[in-house]
């Protein structure tokens, strides 16, 4: 069929790399004999760059109306996007209309309009795109070449140059992305205008897992919602090893939550972020330590010593480079025989030699890198709402973004501790408040000693933390303790005092707070209390 192909271009962003990629695509299409249609601003941009283009307003009956709000919403344009090439081309031609083979659209930045501190429903409606989503959906239904993502412009150009291999599969992929993009865009609008009554998420799979939590839970995978967050899981690069499992990704998310809370709390309270080393198993820290930049070896040793038995087969999370010296410590420090087996290591960077040292048979150790881990601070907390599936729907809540402020007037201190003990309390809080509640956490001189997580009563959490410390060979005398909520009785503090704990951080709110205060005074245990409504640390409930 000797028919000139036509492309429809209508983009919001025309500056910088966006405009350059559009010009590359447009010039290539012209060089291949295509005709170009474009909406007003895009047509002017292309014409000023010397690209031959026809304004859409010339095609539609009567041109643009209502201050250019209605141009592309016309039957002439959408007929060209929806017509079937084999059965309806003659009808199109009889009406003097063009068959449109490709549509390239980006949408008005609705999220930017919503995030504007001065946003109103009227201003958001003004910046809500209608023509763009409609063109994308018509192009998708018509199985056209649909480009809605800046990254796909060069992909499509390369594909066209290659002779359109696997045409149906390639176009179907683009069509599906366009439909999902429009769905997400409409969801943003619905969420805003309903003030949260309507909500949800649209994601794109970026990682396939062999299975979920168990072998029979298939398929499973990681989906990105495209937030651009530098610490989003899709921003971690697999340097070596097999693809991360579902459980690896859950542990990665949990350890990053802990690491960012520790970093943000130290940045907020002391204006500095220490070296942080975390060892994780089943979503909770079994080892953790902090130290100065000169104490890398000590930090690693303390982290491993937290619970050398539990860390076997677990994940290690670091905010510093993994080199050969780090690899050697991870492999052999405090290992009676053989070498330590790890399921994964997460760090800003890896030296190739270190990766080779740490590799496991079958590539069962995953190496995940993200340079953003090297520059954590107060702005590193995850602030996106948290979804949780429940039968027939989902639960939604704000993220966990509370930071313990040691200078908070609401923080009761009896008596005031020294800097070393307060730093230990801060580390205990960062670990315990991001472990499965109920949690009681013990720390001594910058390292985790015992983490009693997921208990159904608080005294049980105290007993478990003490027991885990003992089973790992730690002396609990001189430790500080964090409890993620208040003590309903004095039995929990009694367990801690008998173990030699010198300070407790908890929340207040129990009818027996005064009894807890009196007990701690009598037994020379320092007590820090933050109101439960402010500082309760339930997580992963």
| CATH code, domain carrying 125 | 3.40.50.1380
**487-505: average pLDDT:** 98
Task: Please say which residue of 358, 379, 400 terminates a domain.
Answer: 379
Burial 270-305 (b: 16+ CB within 10 A, else e): eeebbbbbbbbbebbbbbbbbbeeebbebbbbbbbb
**Least confident piece of the model among 74-88, 224-238, 252-266, 329-343:** 74-88
pLDDT at 67: 63
Does residue 223 fall inside a structural domain? no
Per DSSP, the chain holds a count of helices (H) and strands (E) of 19, 21
Question: Per the domain annotation, does 287 fall within a domain?
Answer: yes
> What is the mean pLDDT of the segment spanning 149-167?
95
Which residue, 175, 184, 78, 182, is CA-closest to 135?
Answer: 78
Candidate from 57-71, 168-182, 283-297, 373-387 with smallest mean pLDDT? 57-71
pLDDT for 62 equals 64
End-to-end CA distance of the chain: 63
- Regarding whether 450 and 351 lie in a shared domain, the answer is no
Residue 306, both tokens? 């937290």
Q: Flag whether 256 is in a domain.
A: yes
The answer to whether residues 3 and 99 touch, using CB atoms and an 8 Å cutoff, is: yes
Mean pLDDT of 192-205: 94
Q: Which residue, chain included where needed, has tokens 């992929």? A: 173
Domain boundary among 379, 394, 426: 379
- pLDDT given for residue 61 in this prediction: 67
Spatial separation of the C-alpha atoms in residues 532 and 541, rounded to whole Å: 16
Closest by CA to 223, choosing from 238, 249, 203, is: 203
- Written in H, E and C, the secondary structure of 369-414 is ECHHHHHCCHHHCCCCCEEEEECCEEEEECCCCCCCCCCCCCCEEE
Residue 66, pLDDT > 70, answer no
Interval 430-449 mean pLDDT: 97
Q: Look at residue 513 and tell me if it is in a domain.
A: yes
Q: Tell which residue, 259, 238, 246, 237, has the closest CA to residue 365.
A: 238
Structure tokens at 257: 């939550």
**Residues 6+ positions from 443 with CB-CB distance below 8 Å:** 424, 425, 427, 428, 431, 449, 479, 480, 481, 482
The arithmetic mean of pLDDT across residues 36-56, rounded, is 92
- Name the band, by pLDDT with cuts 50, 70 and 90, for residue 74: confident
Confirm if 527 and 474 have CB atoms less than 8 A apart.
no
Same domain, 295 and 425: no
- Which residue range is the domain that position 357 belongs to? 237-379
Separation of alpha carbons 322 and 328, rounded Å: 10
CATH number, domain containing residue 265: 3.40.140.20
459-475 residue pLDDT tens: 999 999 999 999 999 99
> CA–CA separation, 277 vs 259, rounded Å?
8
Do 418 and 366 share a structural domain?
A: no
Q: Which residues pair with 223 in a beta bridge?
A: 205
- Give the CA distances from residue 226 to residues 201, 204, 233, in Å, rounded to whole numbers and listed in that order: 11, 8, 11
- Per residue in 226-251, pLDDT (tens digit) is 888 999 999 999 999 999 999 999 99
Region 506-529: mean pLDDT is 97
Decide if 213 is inside a domain. no
Structural domain ending residue among the three candidates 158, 193, 228? 193
Instruction: Return the higher-pLDDT residue of 96 and 257.
Output: 257
Same domain? For 251 and 120 the reply is no
The span from the CA of 319 to the CA of 32, in Å, is: 50
Same-domain pairing of 163 and 253: no
- Can you tell me the distance from the alpha carbon of 399 to that of 232, in angstroms, rounded to the nearest whole number? 14
CA atoms within a 13 Å half-sphere pointing along the CA-CB vector of 398? 5
Assigned domain for 340 exists: yes
Residue 1 has pLDDT above 60, yes or no: no
Q: What's the confidence (pLDDT) of residue 430?
A: 98
Residues 413 and 370 in one domain: no
> Do 354 and 417 share a structural domain?
no
Distance of CA 454 to the CA centre of its chain: 24
175 lies in the same domain as 116:
yes
Tokens of residue 404, six digits: 């313990």
Q: For 8, phi and psi rounded to 5 degrees?
A: -110, 120
DSSP H helical segments within 88-130, as ranges?
89-94, 110-115, 121-126
Say if residues 137 and 176 touch (Cβ distance below 8 Å).
no
pLDDT at 65: 62
Determine the pLDDT at residue 24. 95
* 397-414: average pLDDT: 96
Q: Which residue would you say has higher pLDDT here, 437 or 67? A: 437
User: b/e per residue, 101-132, with b = 16+ CB within 10 A?
Assistant: bbbbbbbbebeebbeeeeeeeeebeebbbebb
The predicted pLDDT at position 96 comes to: 86
Reported as half-sphere exposure (CB side, CA atoms, 13 A), residue 386 has a value of: 15
pTM of the predicted protein model: 0.91
**Mean pLDDT, rounded, of the chain:** 94
Q: Are residues 367 and 416 located together in one domain of the fold?
A: no
Same domain, 268 and 314: yes
Q: What angle do CA 40, 43, 49 make, to 5 degrees?
A: 145
User: CA–CA separation, 94 vs 75, rounded Å?
Assistant: 15
Residues 331 and 432 occupy one common structural domain: no
Angle at 167 (CA atoms; ends 14, 237), nearest 5 degrees: 65
Residue 516 within a domain: yes
443: pLDDT strictly greater than 80: yes
Of all residues in the chain, the percent with pLDDT exceeding 90 is 88
Residues 44 and 127 in one domain: yes
Total structural domains within the chain: 3
Give a yes or no: residue 209 inside a domain: no
pLDDT in tens, 344-359: 999 999 999 999 999 9
Instruction: Say what the pLDDT of residue 68 is.
Output: 63
Tell me the two tokens of residue 144.
């056209």
């Amino acid at each position: 069929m000797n028919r000139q192909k036509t492309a429809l271009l209508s983009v919001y962003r025309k500056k910088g790399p966006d405009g350059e990629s559009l010009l590359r695509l447009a010039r290539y299409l012209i060089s291949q004999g295509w005709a170009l249609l474009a909406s007003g601003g895009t047509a002017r941009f292309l014409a000023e760059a010397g690209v031959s283009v026809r304004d859409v307003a010339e095609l539609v009956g009567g041109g643009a109306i209502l201050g250019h709000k209605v141009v592309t919403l016309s039957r002439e344009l959408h007929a060209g996007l929806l017509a079937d090439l084999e059965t309806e081309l003659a009808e199109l031609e009889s009406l003097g209309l063009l068959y449109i083979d490709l549509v390239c659209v980006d949408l008005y930045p609705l999220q930017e309009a919503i995030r504007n501190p001065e946003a109103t429903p009227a201003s958001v409606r003004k910046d809500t795109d209608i023509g763009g989503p409609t063109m994308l959906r018509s192009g998708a239904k018509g199985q056209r070449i649909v480009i809605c993502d800046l990254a796909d412009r060069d992909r499509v150009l390369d594909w066209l140059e290659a002779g359109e291999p696997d045409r149906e599969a390639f176009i179907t992929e683009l069509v599906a992305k366009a439909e999902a993009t429009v769905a997400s865009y409409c969801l943003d609008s619905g969420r805003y205008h309903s003030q949260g009554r309507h909500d949800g998420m649209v994601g794109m799979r970026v990682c396939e897992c062999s299975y979920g939590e168990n072998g029979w839970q298939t398929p499973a995978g990681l989906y990105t919602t495209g937030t651009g967050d530098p610490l989003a899981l899709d921003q971690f690069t697999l340097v070596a090893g097999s693809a991360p499992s579902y459980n690896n990704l859950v542990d990665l998310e949990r350890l990053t939550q802990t690491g960012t809370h520790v970093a943000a709390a130290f940045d907020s309270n002391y204006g500095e972020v220490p070296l942080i080393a975390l060892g994780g198993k089943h979503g909770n820290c079994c080892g953790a330590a902090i130290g100065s930049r000169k104490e890398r070896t000590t930090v690693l040793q303390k982290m491993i010593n937290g619970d050398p038995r539990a860390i076997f087969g677990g994940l290690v999370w670091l905010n510093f480079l993994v080199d050969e010296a780090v690899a050697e410590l991870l492999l052999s420090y405090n290992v009676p025989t053989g070498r330590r087996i790890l399921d994964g290591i997460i760090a800003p960077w890896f030296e190739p030699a270190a990766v080779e040292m740490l590799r496991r048979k079958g590539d069962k150790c995953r190496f995940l890198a993200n340079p953003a881990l090297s520059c954590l601070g107060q702005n590193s907390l995850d602030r996106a709402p948290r979804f949780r599936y429940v039968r027939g729907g989902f639960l939604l809540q704000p993220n966990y973004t509370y930071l313990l402020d040691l200078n908070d007037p609401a923080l009761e201190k009896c008596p005031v501790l020294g800097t070393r003990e307060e730093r230990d309390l801060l580390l205990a809080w960062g670990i315990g408040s991001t472990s499965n509640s109920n949690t009681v956490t013990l720390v001594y001189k910058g390292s985790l000693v015992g983490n009693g997580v997921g208990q159904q009563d608080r005294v049980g959490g105290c007993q478990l933390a003490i027991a885990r410390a003992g089973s790992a060979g730690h002396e609990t005398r001189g430790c500080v303790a964090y409890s993620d909520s208040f003590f309903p009785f004095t039995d929990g503090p009694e367990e801690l005092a008998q173990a030699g704990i010198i300070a407790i951080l908890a929340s207040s709110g129990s009818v027996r707070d005064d009894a807890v205060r009196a007990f701690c005074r009598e037994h020379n245990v320092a007590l820090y209390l933050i109101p439960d409504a402010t500082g309760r640390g339930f997580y992963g409930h």
